[in-house]
Amino acid sequence: MERFAVTTERPYDILIGKGILDQSGKYIKECVNPCRVCIITDSKVNKLYSKILSSSLEENGFETHKIVFPEGEYSKSIATYANVLESLAEKAFSRSDIIIALGGGVVGDLSGFAAATYLRGIRYIQIPTTYLAAVDSSVGGKTAVNLLSGKNLAGAFWQPSMVICDYKTFDSMEEAFLLDGVAEAIKSGMIMESSLIDRVLAKDYGKVIERCVSIKKSVVEADERDIGMRQLLNFGHTIGHGIEKLSSYRISHGRAVAMGMVVESKAAFKMGLTGYDASEYLTEVLTKCGFDLNLPYSAEQLYKYAKNDKKISADSISMVIPEAIGKCRLQKILLSDLERFIQLGIK
């Protein structure tokens, strides 16, 4: 098992291993004294893993409770979030108790936001069970739900007390869902570490998670609140979030980010912001991984959603510009140039 210490305002450990879920109660006891635990999960993950987790917690002296909501991006809503808060209150959870987010990105983001806001904040632990959550969303303390206007528009920064990643859980994932993690891992390779992309192609899950977590740890430690270099992690996301929303979330996050990286790279090159056209390399690698990169939306449609992006401040938006494979920089683009930027990216 590998262990990474993340030194954010509230420090925590990330544990990565294959087949460690049934030991999780023992690990959690390292950072939280036995108390009441609310496992928050979705209908799919509940059937697969909540019993293993609750048995391990109970063996280690924790009292377990559970909240289950339907699987899928549509659950990442204010309505589900409100139901979770009401359930926590009905169960009389207090600030000395903890939440465990058991599942993928939707479960992690929503449960984290509930933890950040219930009683003005209680502790929580992330147990990612998908490739996407393991390589990206479970680390770094970004929590959120979607609004009707767009993705992740209501949320908080709230660091977990521990992250336990058992990548044996990927055995139960269909290839189509694994692709979401592939896109985020390739994104991390593009922004900071070209050799990571070869590991992604080799499906070396353990090493890919370790490298992604290590990259993310360094970025989050330098910019916990996403006001500077952390925005590099948003490569492909300005366009990607628009694609997800326009498709009513039928196009999953990873697939949308894959298309978004190609569009943003081509746009940056055609606008003369970089001498390197990463879109050619990305198209080749992403196609090899099995992504369909045919973009079903127009520049006008994508612009409408990009205008709501969280990286906008005043009259500009921060975009990630690839300079080489494994090297990106941030650059502000005037909002008045954003529609042209997107048009150049999809031509």
How far, in Å, CA of 23 to CA of 55, rounded?
Answer: 10
Query: What are phi and psi for residue 124, nearest 5 degrees?
Result: -145, 160
Cβ distance to ligand GLY smaller for residue 215 or 344: 215
Cβ distance to ligand GLY smaller for residue 25 or 240: 240
CA distances from 257 to 13, 132, 143, 254, 261 (A): 28, 12, 18, 5, 6
Q: Is 76 exposed, middle or buried (0-12, 13-18, 19+ CB in 10 A)?
A: buried
Residues that bind ligand GLY in the complex, under the rule CB under 6 A: 136-137, 140, 142, 226, 230, 233
Q: 37 and 65 in contact (C-beta within 8 Å)? A: yes
| Nearest distance, CB of residue 184 and ligand GLY, angstroms | 8
DSSP classification of residue 81: H
Cβ distance to ligand GLY smaller for residue 166 or 226: 226
| Nearest distance, CB of residue 223 and ligand GLY, angstroms | 9
CA distances from 140 to 22, 58, 81, 214 (A): 24, 28, 20, 11
Name the residue with the smallest CB distance to ligand GLY. 233
Cβ distance to ligand GLY smaller for residue 136 or 166: 136
| Nearest distance, CB of residue 175 and ligand GLY, angstroms | 23
Query: Which of 76, 33, 212, 65 minimizes the C-alpha distance to 135?
Result: 212
Pairing of strands 162-166, 150-157: unpaired
| Nearest distance, CB of residue 26 and ligand GLY, angstroms | 28
Q: Record the tokens describing residue 206, joined without a space.
A: 């353990």
Cβ distance to ligand GLY smaller for residue 88 or 162: 162
Q: Record the tokens describing residue 201, joined without a space.
A: 């192609």
| Nearest distance, CB of residue 215 and ligand GLY, angstroms | 11
| Nearest distance, CB of residue 240 and ligand GLY, angstroms | 11
Cβ distance to ligand GLY smaller for residue 32 or 132: 132
